Chains A and B, each alone.
Chain A
């Protein structure tokens, strides 16, 4: 089991190591980590910290994609939940009720998506596109078009605080990843989700309640997006309905793909998706550290992602299987 697991995530770890090595080559001071203001400070920490929203989105997205679906609305749900959280603290709600209301908003968005997909049987890409477009409008209605700023220490702690010198967002995505992995892998849930992704009708005929599971999976995605939205708002001490989570749904899907989960559904690995999210953030941070003019940002990112995906492509994997026996003969 352990060896199989390591073999599963080996390509992702190798890629992450390669990207990090590349950054360290361009920017030699990369590994300098120090303690500032009671929290760890350094570029590797930045990657873990800034990657938190995409990592959280990738957790939910992995499960959704494993069922053969896709959730395009996560970026907009981030904006909604960030706006809800900011609105709540400005109304003098306590931290607990603010988080409860905001996370419930994320769950409600998940129920909406799940209802469209599982009950009305609308294709996931279209069903979630509705909330992707409408969600930002909803968030703007809550913030009334302005950036809702706040100075609530508790909420700010979610974005820029630290526990034992580790930034809170890092702990949150690690905890969420561990929790969801445990739930789906220590029970039959993961297997059932994969069964739905491989063949929904067959899984239903063999007694899997696909409808409920699909709704639950979209709710998980909504919950993860809500947490990501709270972190994003807390980080800048304000809810920016126009820009919070903008295009992050695409980064989250990319993280899942780099993690080796097929967009057609079926077998999935949350850990590999999380490493995928870190690879994306490492590329982003590396570009910022490298000092290239901003016009190159997107081209460099696209180039690196292309190399990663080509290296992981099935065609190349087939090619390597032909090479392996030759090695063993030597």
Chain B
């Protein structure tokens, strides 16, 4: 008898726990894996954002495999989560699992990358506009040099990759109409430090020991960091003799900016989860349907933005 009462009490208690858990949101997050430092930072920030909002985040690392992501999504659906964040590893092959989520009335938000499925299968997609990033960098340079003649050398990303194509197009858009700014050399640095350094060395030699170069535009910060070393080894002052603007805003470029060796970077924010949670929240509260693409801010950072402090902020995010 006594044990029965105890059993009943514990049953009641567990029901109470369950209902309190249901009032807080449970969101599943299927991450691609740890392919890059930026990805790691995205994961860290997603967890921080979830914690800040009191969201119970179920995290699944797919180790770069789509089948793992589909499995994770199915298990989220089976657990009856309130929403799903998906950073898709590839663009195709999502139709059936997204339909399953739709049938279960679970909204799916895409992070950073797009899928080829019909857009009524997901709530919205949060991402950056690569062309816009390049444009912000170009516009910064226009404002920086004014009417002075400026020969720019460009370190492209991996040939044929969409960031390389879009960031190049965006930059050219940003400087268009300013004939004093010319791209004199453009070569791929494969997004790596080593190639960035090697290619910059050859740029310096090809352009009169660097005397003809007024600015460097690198499609990512890592190549800029390599190029900074090449410029220093050539006896020039990066940031002064050659202005440097790049994209991504990884911690190391803030260190360079704090030392006066880089001038500006455009942030590809790893905080895609913040806008995603906001959209999910609004949708669940009163059914506000967000636009199909939420563009994250491509924020420009310069030496005036206290780079040393931002470095301290960013260095532990897992970049």
A and B are interacting partners: yes
Neighbouring A residues of B185 by C-beta, 8 Å = 291
Partner pick for B229 among A29, A236, A243, A244, CB 8 A cutoff: A236
Judge whether A267 is part of the interface by a CB distance below 8 angstroms: no
Judge whether B68 is part of the interface by a CB distance below 8 angstroms: no
Q: Mark A274-311, 1 if CB is under 8 A from B, else 0.
A: 00000000000100110101110100000000000000
B235 contacts A50, C-beta separation under 8 Å:
no
B188 contacts A46, C-beta separation under 8 Å:
no
B234 contacts A36, C-beta separation under 8 Å:
yes
Judge whether B99 is part of the interface by a CB distance below 8 angstroms: no
Q: Mark B185-207, 1 if CB is under 8 A from A, else 0.
A: 11110101111011101110110
Partner pick for B40 among A36, A146, A285, CB 8 A cutoff: A146
A291 to B183, CA, bound (A): 12
Residue of B nearest to A245 (CB): B194
Within 8 A of B (CB), among A211-243: 232, 235-238, 240, 242-243
Name the prevailing secondary structure of the B interface residues.
helix
Judge whether B56 is part of the interface by a CB distance below 8 angstroms: no
Q: Which of B156, B186, B193 has the most CB of A within 10 A?
A: B193
A147 contacts B206, C-beta separation under 8 Å:
no
Judge whether B37 is part of the interface by a CB distance below 8 angstroms: yes
Neighbouring B residues of A27 by C-beta, 8 Å = 206
Neighbouring A residues of B222 by C-beta, 8 Å = 147
A149 to B225, CA, bound (A): 11
A243 contacts B235, C-beta separation under 8 Å:
no
Judge whether B34 is part of the interface by a CB distance below 8 angstroms: yes
Neighbouring A residues of B195 by C-beta, 8 Å = 243
Judge whether B318 is part of the interface by a CB distance below 8 angstroms: yes
A36 contacts B235, C-beta separation under 8 Å:
yes
Evaluate whether A43 and B229 lie within 8 angstroms (CB atoms) in the complex, with A240-B193, A243-B190 already known: no
A238 contacts B193, C-beta separation under 8 Å:
yes
B199 contacts A160, C-beta separation under 8 Å:
no
Residue of A nearest to B199 (CB): A288
A46 contacts B202, C-beta separation under 8 Å:
yes
Judge whether A112 is part of the interface by a CB distance below 8 angstroms: no
A145 contacts B34, C-beta separation under 8 Å:
yes
A62 to B202, CA, bound (A): 29
A42 to B209, CA, bound (A): 9
| Distance from A317 Cβ to chain B, minimum over Cβ atoms (Å) | 35
Q: Which of B199, B202, B229 has the most CB of A within 10 A?
A: B202
Judge whether A206 is part of the interface by a CB distance below 8 angstroms: no
Q: Mark A144-158, 1 if CB is under 8 A from B, else 0.
A: 011101000000000
Judge whether B252 is part of the interface by a CB distance below 8 angstroms: yes
A interface residues, Cβ below 8 angstroms from B:
27, 29, 32, 34, 36-37, 39, 41-43, 46, 50, 145-147, 149, 160, 232, 235-238, 240, 242-244, 285, 288-289, 291, 293-295, 297
Apart from A240-B193, A243-B192, A244-B194, list 8 A-B contacts with CB within 8 A: A34-B209, A42-B205, A145-B37, A232-B194, A288-B199, A288-B202, A291-B206, A297-B188
B interface residues, Cβ below 8 angstroms from A:
34, 36-37, 40, 156, 159-160, 185-188, 190, 192-195, 197-199, 201-203, 205-206, 209, 222, 225-226, 229, 233-235, 252, 318-319
- Could you list some 28 contacts between A and B, CB below 8 A? A32-B205, A34-B209, A36-B233, A36-B235, A37-B234, A41-B234, A46-B201, A46-B202, A145-B36, A146-B37, A147-B193, A147-B222, A147-B252, A149-B252, A160-B233, A232-B194, A235-B197, A236-B197, A236-B225, A240-B193, A240-B194, A243-B192, A288-B202, A289-B202, A293-B186, A294-B156, A295-B160, A297-B188
